[in-house]
Amino acid sequence: MDRRTMIAALFAASLAAPGALAQTKEVTFAHQDMLDPYRAMIDSGEIEKATGYKINWRKFGGGGDVIRAMASGDVQIGEVGSSPAAAAASQGMNVEVFWILDDIADAEQLVARNGSGVNSVKDLKGKKVAVPYVSTSHYQLLYALEKDGVNPREVQILNMRPPEIAAAWERGDIDATFIWDPVLSRVKGNGKVLISAGQIAKEGRPTFDAVMVDKAWAEKNNDFMAKLVALMAKADSEYRAEKAKWTADSPQVRAVAKISGADPKDVPAGMAAYRFPTLQEQASPEWLGGKESGAAKALAETAKFLKEQGRITDVAPDYSRFVTDEYVKAAMKDNKS
């Protein structure tokens, strides 16, 4: 190698090295439009400041889109409902649920448009019902139809993302939708609630939103994972402690509205419909703790139902391997130190 070639090679290496280092501290995080406290941290950049990572925030219209992006390798961390999480696990994706974003409770509802002639779930026969496919709402819609003896094939179930549902509702193109905020608040202004996720949960079909990670990536970035969990827990804790201060004109609510695409006046009531588990609850068997965790059981039950409905082809033998409390415990340990 002559002197010029050597200098060129060394110069190229000096440029490549910082980029390679930066690449190890960068992550693409898929979020959706649900109303959650840590949205304020997305807006402020607090997570980037605390972790030192460059975070590429990408907004998706539903959990089905998120798991496809994670399967392709484009996304390392993503928000998913329990139904798409069950689908991802059933497909054998190398992923783990590491944080319960929220217990959906009454935050998702089946609403029939005024003037559609739909006054009950049974009235949905022959009607157009919009829902994001593979979402928790889709799962709940299928269960509601089965419970009331309605064959899903007798309903025109349309696969639409939330913004598409809002537009179709305004045009009068659909008769009903099972959806969450911010679209839920809009459709309820001209519709009737038929059933909520909370009612379905009481019948043994609970649903939740979670944050899922590519397992191999998480293992290489476990310090980031623990810090991320601690920050999301902090956001939830601050919300629970000062919920009355989260008003439509507060900076926190304006930030949540900005990230979620919601109207600030709808955010306080929309957030109040969710339940945000504490760090201690997350570590307990109720949610992420242990082989028989509530999350693992819910994923297994959801997968079983989805297979019965022909939405997935296989059911995994063990869903506990797709749930971890490792980073919750690490965050708890850091909080004590």
71 in the same domain as 123: no
What average pLDDT does this structure show over 65-92?
A: 96
| Residue 187 belongs to some domain of the structure | yes
308 in the same domain as 211: yes
186 in the same domain as 115: yes
| Residue 113 belongs to some domain of the structure | yes
- Parallel, antiparallel or unpaired: strands 191-196 and 128-131: unpaired
Say how many domains are in the chain. Answer: 2
- Parallel, antiparallel or unpaired: strands 54-59 and 77-81: unpaired
Q: What is the pLDDT of residue 192?
A: 97
74 in the same domain as 217: yes
| Residue 264 belongs to some domain of the structure | yes
Q: pLDDT-derived band of residue 6, with 50, 70 and 90 as boundaries?
A: very low
Measured CA to CA, the distance from residue 317 to residue 319 in angstroms comes to 7
Domain end call among 202, 231, 258: 202
Token digits for 155?
A: 């309903």
Domain end call among 185, 202, 219: 202
Q: What is the pLDDT of residue 149?
A: 96
Q: What is the pLDDT of residue 316?
A: 96
81 in the same domain as 178: no
86 in the same domain as 48: yes
| Residue 168 belongs to some domain of the structure | yes
| CATH code for position 248 | 3.40.190.10
| Residue 261 belongs to some domain of the structure | yes
217 in the same domain as 97: yes
84 close to 63: Cβ distance less than 8 angstroms: yes
Match 């059981």 to its residue by tokens.
297
Residue 177 has pLDDT above 60, yes or no: yes
Which of 12-21, 30-39, 187-196, 285-294 is the least confident region?
12-21
Which residue type, as a one-letter code, is found at position 173?
D
216 in the same domain as 165: no
In Å, the largest CA–CA distance within the chain is 83
| Residue 10 belongs to some domain of the structure | no
Backbone angles phi, psi at 184, to 5 degrees: -55, -45
What average pLDDT does this structure show over 259-285?
A: 95
328 in the same domain as 259: yes
Residue 90 has pLDDT above 50, yes or no: yes
Closest among 190, 177, 184, 191 to 266, alpha carbons compared: 184
Measured CA to CA, the distance from residue 277 to residue 238 in angstroms comes to 13
What average pLDDT does this structure show over 207-229?
A: 97
What average pLDDT does this structure show over 284-293?
A: 94
192 in the same domain as 99: no
| Residue 147 belongs to some domain of the structure | yes
> 82-103: string of b/e by CB count within 10 Å (b at 16+)?
bbbbbbbbbeebebbbbbbbbb
Residue 9 has pLDDT above 90, yes or no: no
User: Which domain does 295 fall in, by range?
Assistant: 27-103+207-336
Domain end call among 169, 202, 235: 202
| Residue 138 belongs to some domain of the structure | yes
Residue 1 has pLDDT above 80, yes or no: no
pTM: 0.83
258 in the same domain as 290: yes
219 in the same domain as 99: yes
Closest among 235, 300, 278, 250 to 286, alpha carbons compared: 278
Q: What is the pLDDT of residues 306-333, one digit of tens each?
A: 998 888 999 999 999 999 999 999 999 8
User: How distant is the alpha carbon of residue 35 from its chain centre?
Assistant: 10
